Structure 1
Amino acid sequence: MRLRAYLPAWAHEWIDVLVPGLQIVGILVAAWLLQYLLRRLVARLGTRYQLPADLVTPARNLLRYLIYGAAFLLVMERLGVSATVLWTGFTGFVTVAAIAFFAAWSVLSNLFCSVLIFSTRPFRLGDVIEVIDAGDKPGIKGRVVNIQLVYTTLEDVLPDHKGALLQVPNSLFFQKSLRRWRAAELPTGGDAP
């Protein structure tokens, strides 16, 4: 069946513009709807499992960029850009991204370790922790005041450094042993052991 048979004669010259235009509008509406539904799903999962906003927001943004990127590629295909050109551009981008991935390995390691900290909860805000170098050597010790994507901030509890802030890379917590005093177990004065 041909669409031209059902349209008046004056509309025949517009078919080549209208059909791709309607397909593009459909792609954009579907992308927006999918992004909206996934954004709500991620927000509900974050609320249900009490995930920190530092983890939920980047996940939401990543999904949005992936959906709109795919929609952009579909729109370009509908506009007549060949699949070979799109594939070449995509593989070139992936190659550059892989090189950048290896160049930024330590930062990505800290980002991955922050996800592990948020999900496995080896310590929480307010806990006093000590990263142990060896059994006989004292390590980094402090009260957890902030957990971010790359660093965890500790407030130094040593008397001569009281109030100093230490920024510890998140990957260090998975390379060394960790000693922990829960915030609820600390003496009422809040002093660290």
Structure 2
Amino acid sequence: MYTQILATTGIIIGYFVVSHLIRRLMLSLASAKKVPLQRVAYISKYFNGLSLFAAVVMVSLIWSIDYGNLMLFASSIFAIVGVALFAQWSILSNVTSSVIIFFTFPARIGHRIRILDDEETLIGEIVEITLFQVLLRGDNGETISYPNNLLLQKPVIIVNDRVTLPQAEGDG
């Protein structure tokens, strides 16, 4: 009993240490790649959720939860979630693409890009990169929302890699 309590305490402490390390790693990567803190928060939450899931699994193993009932419950939940995700596969695809964009995409907020699409070529400045889409500001001021998963599938040309900062009112 005391070993289980001690191991559970260790896992809880380990979870907080891993969460802290993930946060520091994401901040250092964001600093090196000049990524806004809002995107770091998105990605950190994603990895912290995975860490929490791993911690819960480890605690359940330590306390020898009855796997027969647990597996029945988990398989029921996974079946429901699986049907929901199959119906909404693009959501999961966009979140995964957001993580890939965070680590590997060469364009950043403020860069002008051209997305070569079969139907229409889009040109605009990256305004925001969220978990689901990239927001571009077109040449005539319109805001274009482009899904992250499509951004990874289409050729993207960085038209201008100088980051343009918004001017303060009165500057001219």
Structure 1 and Structure 2 fold alike (TM over 0.5): yes
Select which of 121, 131, 145 maps to 1:167.
145
**In terms of Rg, which structure is larger?**
1
State TM-score, norm by structure 2: 0.75
| Residue 84 of structure 1: aligned partner | 68
Query: What is the rounded CA distance, in whole Å, between the counterparts of 1:183 and 1:55 in structure 2?
Result: 24
Offset from partner CA, 1:24-48 (integer Å, 9 cap, x none): 5334312211211211221232133
Alpha-carbon contact 2:109-2:163 (below 8 Å) kept: no
User: Structure 1 residues 157 and 33, CA, compared in 2 at 3 Å: closer, same or farther?
Assistant: same
> For residue 106 of structure 2, what is the amino acid of its counterpart?
P
Please, which of 88, 101, 107 is the counterpart of residue 85 of structure 2?
101
Residues 1:142 and 2:124 aligned together: yes
SS in 2 for 1:154: strand
Q: Do residues 60 (structure 1) and 48 (structure 2) align?
A: yes
Q: Is the 8 A contact 2:107 2:161 kept in 1?
A: no
Match of 2:9 in 1: 29
Q: Percent identity?
A: 22
Matched, 1:43 2:23: yes
Matches of 1:66 and 1:151, distance apart in 2: 28
The aligned amino acid for 1:56 is S
Cα offsets for 1:94-137 (capped at 9, x unmatched) = 33333233222111111121122111123111111122224xx7
Q: Deviations over 1:3-38 (max 9, x none)?
A: xxxxxxxxxxxxxxxxx4x45533431221121121
Paired residue type of 1:141: I
Q: Which moved more, 1:54-63 or 1:91-100?
A: 91-100
Figure out how many residues of one structure are paired with residues of the other and give that number: 157
Partner of 1:155: 137
Indicate if the aligned counterparts of 1:109 and 1:171 stay in contact, CA closer than 8 A: yes
Question: Quick one: higher RCO (CA 8 Å, sep 6+), 1 or 2?
Answer: 2
Give me the whole-angstrom Cα distance separating, in 1, the residues matched to 2:66 and 2:110. 56
Q: Which amino acid aligns with 1:122?
A: P
Unaligned runs of 5+ in 1: 1-19
Whole-angstrom CA distance in 2 between matches of 1:61 and 1:97: 16
TM-score (norm 1): 0.68
Measure, in 2, the Cα distance between the counterparts of 1:29 and 1:119.
33
Pairwise CA distance, 1:146: 0.4
Checking the alignment, whether the CA contact within 8 Å between 1:126 and 1:182 is kept in structure 2 is no
Counterparts of 2:17 and 2:27, CA distance in 1: 15
For 1:55, give the aligned amino acid.
I
RMSD: 2.6
Aligned residue for 1:178? 156
In structure 2, do the counterparts of structure 1 residues 102 and 185 end up closer, same or farther at CA, with 3 Å as the change threshold?
closer
